Structure 1
Amino acid sequence: MTHAAFTLTDEMNQAISAFFQRIPFNQSLGITIDHLSTESVRMSLPMKPELIGNFVHGILHGGVIATILDVSGGAMALIGAFERHQHLDSNERMARLSKLGTIDLRIDYLRPGRGQSFTANAVMLRSGNKVAVVRSELHSDDGTLIAVGTGTYLCG
């Protein structure tokens, strides 16, 4: 028995976007969703004075870097969970998806966060029954790789 390839519908895309946009901290930082698919997630973040960690050099705060890598990774994990739970009715699926959470997050800071905007890209490494592992990268607006992260997410 073969299954049709899973694709995100417009409804799923809107549900995932709404989920992440309703998080006040994401709004405060200014994180926006640029792209959602079963292969990858892309989010962006503008540099703002309140996000600076090193005020002498105007460098993006490490906590902000970790946050956008975690948020993009969580979105990728959520997409994987949508795929695994597509056979469930919408109430049961939403109940399971509401349990999404970060179990572990490792960030490697490679270069200072300099730039006017930043882009995080996330891809799935493994999507299991309960846990997903996602790899994320953060680039500055000139393409410089700032940091990489590997997150493990509980996803229902």
Structure 2
Amino acid sequence: MSDTPPTAAPSFDELADAIRQRRSVYGQISGLRMERFAPGEAWSCLPYRPVFVGDSETGVLHGGVVTAMLDESCGMAVQLALDGSSAIATLDLRIDYQKPATPGLDIKAHAVCFRVTRSIAFVRATAYQEEESAPVATATACFMIGANRTNMLTDRPAFGGALPPLEAPDDPTGPFATSPFARCLGIRFAENETFVMPFSRQIIGNPVLPAIHGGMTGAFLETAAIVTVMRELGASAPPKPIGLTINYLRSGRALDSIASASIVKQGRRVVAFEARAWQDDAAKPIATAFGHFMLRQAAGQEQD
């Protein structure tokens, strides 16, 4: 029998500090920080940056930025409800966009893990700018507990060295000329009306595996859907996201991701869409999404 005493469990403050220091790669380089915490609750803040813009003509942030922030904030709340040793993974994430984020202002989030079972954690969250009672978006999510054998608080990351910056290369004639965040992710057109998001360190969620950040996969799917709707309807301006539900089916590995999107139903003002992403096998998607966009009305038409 070993005489080595068991390792003492960290105090809650030590757990919170470890979660604050050892998070996703994207979360760290995006500037997302946990400002307050309580058991099962996290308050976070994402400073405004021009690279987060989804439409440079309006200055409105890309919906994927909000999605990624809410996904990570929900993950913090889950870890604060546990002991920090279990790896977690997003199973599904539902985002309802209440209003566009005001350009130039930081975004804040409050996430609450309200129920934990042996295998699943249930979370709800609100993203806002000035008052939580005036949300930019709301979210509900389910996380798997013990998703893999990694321990993000103790295991060594797969990559060392300085973290890469978030940059949007200039491409004034490219298809994403007016979307800095899409350019930051390196999204490009591919064959058969598909899209590619190349793997890079900046989109890593779990740094130990490593695995792609669920929010980045969501941003990729949303971008594919926006461009597909604009292309098929001949729209000159991006549609406004209303709601998006993402189902995560497999871990996004350190590989390029491919996505396709299609219109499910088109109305005069609202379009329903679906999208899917995969890596080396189209028959094995890593995530699927379904959602609705509000079409921008032409000049002279009634606005909602």
TM-score bracket, normalised by the shorter chain, equals 0.7 to 0.9
Gaps of 5+ in 2: 1-10, 147-304
Moved more, 101-110 or 38-47: 38-47
Would you say how many aligned residue pairs link Structure 1 and Structure 2?
A: 135
How far apart are the structure 2 equivalents of 1:24 and 1:133?
Answer: 24
For the pair 1:152 / 2:153, whether they are aligned, the reply is no
Q: Per-residue displacement from partner, 1:18-68 (whole Å, max 9, x unpaired)?
A: 222xx2211232101101111521000111100001211111110010011
The answer to whether the 8 A contact 1:43-1:119 is kept is yes
Counterpart code for 1:120: A
CA-CA distance at 1:78 after TM superposition: 1.0
For the pair 1:127 / 2:116, whether they are aligned, the reply is yes
- Structure with the bigger RCO (C-alpha within 8 Å, sep 6+) is 1
The answer to whether the 8 A contact 2:40-2:80 is kept is no
SS at match of 2:123: strand
**Cross-structure match for 1:109:** 97
Q: 1:128 to 1:13 in 2, by over 3 A?
A: same
**Cross-structure match for 1:14:** 17
Counterpart code for 1:122: A
Query: Please, what is the CA RMSD of the aligned residues?
Result: 1.8
CA-CA distance at 1:74 after TM superposition: 0.5
Greater C-alpha Rg: 2
**Cross-structure match for 2:204:** none
SS at match of 1:111: coil
**Cross-structure match for 1:79:** 80
User: Runs (4+) of structure 1 moved beyond 2 Å?
Assistant: 141-144
**Cross-structure match for 2:45:** 44
Counterpart code for 2:114: L
Counterpart code for 1:107: I
SS at match of 1:56: coil
Moved more, 8-17 or 114-123: 8-17
TM-score (norm 2): 0.42
Tell me the percent identity: 28
Q: Per-residue displacement from partner, 1:91-128 (whole Å, max 9, x unpaired)?
A: xx72xx1x211011010011001141110000122111
How far apart are the structure 2 equivalents of 1:13 and 1:150?
Answer: 22
Q: 1:31 to 1:56 in 2, by over 3 A?
A: same
How far apart are the structure 1 equivalents of 2:120 and 2:40?
Answer: 17
Gaps of 5+ in 1: 1-7, 83-92
How far apart are the structure 1 equivalents of 2:95 and 2:107?
Answer: 16
SS at match of 1:75: helix
The answer to whether the 8 A contact 1:106-1:151 is kept is yes
Counterpart code for 1:74: G
TM-score (norm 1): 0.79
SS at match of 2:102: coil
How far apart are the structure 2 equivalents of 1:75 and 1:39?
Answer: 8
